[in-house]
């Protein structure tokens, strides 16, 4: 089917999406400035593979918990087919596809100001819908990433992302609350998470931190704007790309992110779990996004609290990755007084986490905070 890729109401490029969900053809380029970050334009035309990678990156990943059952209920063979059903509209950015000749505009299709269907989210959460009702596929859940069960909900007119837990401990929602509280105490830019219980199951809730004028550009898009030199580390390459784009105040934000990830032993800070915010109207960069997605931490799936865990994105070891931090003058250990009681109180709300585990997690957090304080005394 023929579409025009749009950035809000700005035409970007004409394209064709085939029956398998891939971009099979690109035609007229209308505005190169508004192409997604990292998409290259060559003499013969736009990098179609790169644009396909970006487009398919909007789909629900195959690793999503419960996805096979959800696709069966939706009678779809692949999650990439869901993107087209809601015109690729997301609550993370302002891109979408306009069917040729439809006359649609951003004001009528975006999810920032328009309501959306709950059906896809309910199915992704394993709920069965009434069979006599046609399933409404117009939802931002079609373009949500990550492997945990999640869905967008509207509460009092505001958009919130609701995420569940995994495994025996179902700990991720509680970890989000603990991490965001630590960041609040340290005055670090963060996304606030709260606990929500439904049928005695715990979920985390966070309000969308993007608006009708701002959008998130994940780091994995940013690192594609320049070729990486073999002599450069992954972090150096990221800094080069941010400098090329003109993104301000990056190094402090990275220092803070790596420090928080060290304290909570985050195992999943991949390049799609942090990013940068720009104004979608004038394309000016605002800076690093507030820190989000810290649930895969605190030994969420392990009974051995304190054992070595992997880190991302710059090193596989937290002990090596924390060495990238160049400034800890902002770190105030006194601001974290009472953090162990907060951790224990938060985890006590879980039916799957006992007192022994809660106390062990609280102790290891204190230990890692003290290690950061020692590092701060060396580099400040």
Q: Can you spell out the DSSP letters for 268-325?
A: ---TTSSEEEEETTT--EEEEPPB----S-TTTT-SSTT---B--SS-SBHHHHGGG-
* Residue 142 DSSP class: G
Per-residue pLDDT reduced to its tens digit, 251-279: 999 999 999 999 999 999 999 999 999 99
- Domain locations in the chain as residue ranges: 2-152, 214-379
Per-residue pLDDT reduced to its tens digit, 274-318: 999 999 999 999 999 999 999 999 999 999 999 999 999 999 999
β strands within 70-192, DSSP E: 95-99, 150-155, 158-163
pLDDT reported for residue 77: 81
- pTM for the full predicted model: 0.94
CB 17 within 8 A of CB 5: no
DSSP states of 69-97 as a string?
A: HHHHHHT-S-THHHHHHTTT--SS-SEEE
Q: Which CATH architecture has domain 214-379?
A: Orthogonal Bundle (1.10)
What residue has token string 């959460």?
125
| Best CA proximity match to 219, nearest among 158, 164, 293, 126 | 293
pLDDT mean across residues, the chain: 94
Per-residue pLDDT reduced to its tens digit, 15-31: 999 999 999 999 999 99
pLDDT reported for residue 155: 95
CB 376 within 8 A of CB 332: no
């Amino acid at each position: 089917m023929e579409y025009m890729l749009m950035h809000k109401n700005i035409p970007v490029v004409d394209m064709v999406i085939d029956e398998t969900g891939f971009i099979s053809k690109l035609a007229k380029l209308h505005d190169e400035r508004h192409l997604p970050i990292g998409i290259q334009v060559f003499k013969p035309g736009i990098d179609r593979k790169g644009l396909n990678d970006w487009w398919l990156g909007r789909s629900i990943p195959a690793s999503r918990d419960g996805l096979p059952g959800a696709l069966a209920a939706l009678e779809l063979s692949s999650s990439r087919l869901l993107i087209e059903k809601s015109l690729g509209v997301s609550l993370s950015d302002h891109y979408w596809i306009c069917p040729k000749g439809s006359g649609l505009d951003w004001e009528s299709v975006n999810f920032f100001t328009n309501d959306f269907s709950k059906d896809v989210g309910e199915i992704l959460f394993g709920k069965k819908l009434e069979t006599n009702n046609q399933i409404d596929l117009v939802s931002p859940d079609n373009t949500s990433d990550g492997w945990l069960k999640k869905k967008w909900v509207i509460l009092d007119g505001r958009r919130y992302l609701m995420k569940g837990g995994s495994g025996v401990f179902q700990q991720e929602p509680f970890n989000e609350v603990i991490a965001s509280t630590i960041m609040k105490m340290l005055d670090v830019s963060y996304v606030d998470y709260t606990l929500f219980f439904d049928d005695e199951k715990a979920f985390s809730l966070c309000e969308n931190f993007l608006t009708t004028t701002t959008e998130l550009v994940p780091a994995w898009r940013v690192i594609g704007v320049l070729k990486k030199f073999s002599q450069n580390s992954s972090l150096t390459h990221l800094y080069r790309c941010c400098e090329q784009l003109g993104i301000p105040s990056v190094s402090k934000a990275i220092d803070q992110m790596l420090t928080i990830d060290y304290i909570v032993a985050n195992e999943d800070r991949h390049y799609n779990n942090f990013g940068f915010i720009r104004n979608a109207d004038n394309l000016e960069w605002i800076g690093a996004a507030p820190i989000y997605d810290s649930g895969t931490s605190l030994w969420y799936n392990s009974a051995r609290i304190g054992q070595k865990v992997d880190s991302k994105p710059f090193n596989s070891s937290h002990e090596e990755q924390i060495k990238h931090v160049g400034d800890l003058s902002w770190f105030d250990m006194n601001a974290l007084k009472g953090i162990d009681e907060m951790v224990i109180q938060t985890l006590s709300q879980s039916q799957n986490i006992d007192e022994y585990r809660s106390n062990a997690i609280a102790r290891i957090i204190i230990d890692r905070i003290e290690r950061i304080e020692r590092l701060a005394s060396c580099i400040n």
